[in-house]
Structure formats: C-alpha cells, structure tokens
Amino acid sequence: NSASKPPPTPSPLRFSKFFQSNMRILVTGGAGFIGSHLVDKLMENEKNEVIVVDNYFTGSKDNLKKWIGHPRFELIRHDVTEPLLIEVDQIYHLACPASPIFYKYNPVKTIKTNVIGTLNMLGLAKRVGARILLTSTSEVYGDPLVHPQDESYWGNVNPIGVRSCYDEGKRVAETLMFDYHRQHGIEIRIARIFNTYGPRMNIDDGRVVSNFIAQAIRNEPLTVQAPGTQTRSFCYVSDMVDGLIRLMEGENTGPINIGNPGEFTMLELAENVKELINPDVKIAMVENTPDDPRQRKPDITKAKELLGWEPKIKLRDGLPLMEDDFRQRLGVPRKNLNA
C-alpha cells in the first residue's frame, strides 16, 4: 500500500521534486536587459516557476511588468552581495551591471557584486544542490592578442585599470565557479557572452548600439569613439537567450563563447545605423575611454559542436527590431516614406 510508504528522500539535484513537479528557477539580475528576455522565454514553459532577484541598479520592474502577479512568477528586491536563503533547482546568475558607464560608476560595488555576489550564489547552489550558470563576458579576454577569441585563450587584461572591476571581477567569478565545482561537486555552467543588443536596453545605457540608435532617432550625431576602427561582434538578444538555455540544459560546464561572429568596426556600425535608421544623421568622432579593447570576435566552434547553437539574426535584421522599441519609448514614430 503506497499510502503507508515514507515520503521519498528529496533529490539533492532537484530540490522542488519533493514538493511539486515544477522546475524552480532563480534568475539574478532578471530585471535587466538580457535577464528579462530570459525570464520571458523561461516563463513560456508551464513547468517552470521563475524567481527573479534584483536590486534595480540598472534594471527595472517595467521590464517584467507582464509577469507581475503571475502564479508561477516571483520578484524579490535583493542585493546579491547579501546572503540569500531560498529553495531552487537552477540558478541563472546574471546580476551585475554590464555597461561601462554603470560598472565604472561605483567600481568597488561592481567588484563586490562579481565576487561576493557569485560566492553567495555558489553557497546557495551548494546548500540546495542547484545547477548554476554564470554569465561571464568576452571582457575576460581583455584587449585580446589572439583573434578571433576561443575559450582556451587566457586573455590580456589590465589588473589595475578602470575596467578591471568588471573584467577581473568576472575572472574571479569564473575561478570561484570552478573551485566550487572541483571542491564541492557543484554543477556549473559558464557562458562567455559577447556584445548583445536588442529591445529593452536602457536608452541612456552608454553602450554603442543603444547610443547610436537613440542618436539616429533624435537626429543627433552618432558619437564614434576614436579611432573607430576598433571592432565588436553583436548578438541579438533572442539568440543569446537561446544559447544560455541550451548551455544550462546541456552537459558541458564551459566556459563557452556565446556571441555572433559577424565583426564590425564602430565606423561600419555607425554607417549601418545611418543607412537603416536616419540617412541624414551626422557621424562625429569623439574621444575614447582608457583600455578600450581594439578587436573582439568570438570563435563559436564549441557552441556549435557542444550546444548545436549558432546565432540566427544578422545585425542588419536586428537593428530595425530594436529601432521599433526605441521609437516607442522615445515617442518618435517612424516617418511614413510614402506620405
């Protein structure tokens, strides 16, 4: 008689199995740009319960408004530099400002978020037996001397520069992930994310794609930081979210590069934005910031082979999708060319 049997012992790897069949997923930084798109995707699966933890430094409740009040969704105001006691099966750990102007604004807080924040999420993962994914960054390669960058490259990073709170912070976060994995058997996943763009980026975020699109819509000069020959490779956010979920669900710890290998100089990006959004806009060369990496392009062989993932959306298709969102938020409708 099954009714008299003792309840099963909770699996250390599926905490909520004991209580219900749903998968309980924590997304730190879920009110931010990538995090909120990830939440949208995770919520599509009716077996998922999503808990977002965010301190709203660069994120906003607005990004999650369609989920507030949903029975499978919970939003907690919390700073990851403080301990967090909850029960979850998976942790997507994104909490950390990503735009240089924001991460340089309070560099000590940025490094605390990367180091103490990641330590706390690993402590949580260890206590409840959850699998944890860290969103690391192409910045761990610094100003790379290898091109394109594959995961075996150790990087060329200034440990004492103005970007170090972010790039060295993420390098320590990766170290902590592997130490918890080796020492405590925690299931880890590390994504090295390359520049990502799309709807919901902060309009005044300071990153290049959001700057150029807002400037083109407002008919202000596109500010190309000198020399303009530096390159980046831009991944549309839906491709990014797809890659992160595949990494979490797969069997590989990583680190794995997730990014779009299409490489552009900042002048080429400006020309594309000009052509697609506002042919009359001017391009202005302005001063750059210290330690700006001169080139960046992911080698995504590992992502293709191990995750069966590659980006689908080209820059020229993604920019207009982002333009629609920016026009709506800036209150500047598209001109009707036939009028």
Q: Which residues are catalytic?
A: 166
Which of ligand NAD, ligand UDP, none sits in contact with 120, Cβ below 5 to 8 A by type? Answer: ligand UDP
- Tell whether residue 56 is a contact of ligand NAD (CB under 6 A): yes
**234 touches 296 (CB < 8 A):** no
Q: Does 92 contact ligand NAD by CB under 6 A?
A: no
**Amino acid at site 92:** Y
Closest to 202 measured CA to CA, from 35, 333, 41, 78: 35
Kindly compute the dihedral angle of the four CA atoms of residues 40, 42, 44, 45, in this order, to the nearest 10 degrees.
-170
Stretch that binds ligand NAD, among 12-20, 78-86, 270-278, 307-315 (CB under 6 A): 78-86
Cα 118 from Cα 135, distance rounded (Å): 10
- Which helix (H) or strand (E) segment is 239 a member of? helix 237-249
Under 8 Å between Cβ of 51 and 25 = yes
The residue with tokens 């699996």 is 11
Least distance to ligand NAD, CB of residue 222, Å: 19
288 binds, among ligand UDP, ligand NAD, none (CB under 5 to 8 A by kind): ligand UDP
Q: Are strands 231-233 and 263-265 parallel, antiparallel or unpaired?
A: antiparallel
List Cβ neighbours of 242 (8 Å cut-off, separation of 6 or more): 41, 309
Q: How far apart are CA 91 and CA 152, in angstroms?
A: 25
The partner in contact with residue 58, picked from ligand NAD, ligand UDP, none with C-beta cut-offs of 5 to 8 angstroms by kind, is ligand NAD
DSSP H/E element including 223: strand 222-225
Report whether 314 contacts 262 (CB < 8 A). yes
Q: Does 260 bind ligand NAD (CB under 6 A)?
A: no
Minimum CB distance to ligand UDP smaller for 43 or for 298: 298
For residues 10 and 261, which CB has a smaller minimum distance to ligand NAD in the complex? Answer: 261
C-alpha 91: how far from chain center: 14
Shortest separation between residue 305's beta carbon and ligand NAD, angstroms: 22
Q: Which stretch binds ligand UDP (CB under 6 A): 30-38, 51-59, 79-87, 234-242?
A: 79-87
Query: Can residue 124 be called a binding residue for ligand UDP (CB under 6 A)?
Result: yes
**Residue 224: which of ligand UDP, ligand NAD, none does it interact with, CB under 5 to 8 A by kind?**
ligand UDP
CB of 189 to ligand UDP, least distance (A): 18
Positions that interact with ligand UDP (CB under 6 A): 83-85, 100, 119-120, 123-124, 126-127, 195, 207-208, 211, 223-225, 230, 232, 266, 288, 292
Positions that interact with ligand NAD (CB under 6 A): 28-29, 31-35, 54-59, 79-81, 94-98, 113, 117, 135, 137, 193, 195-196
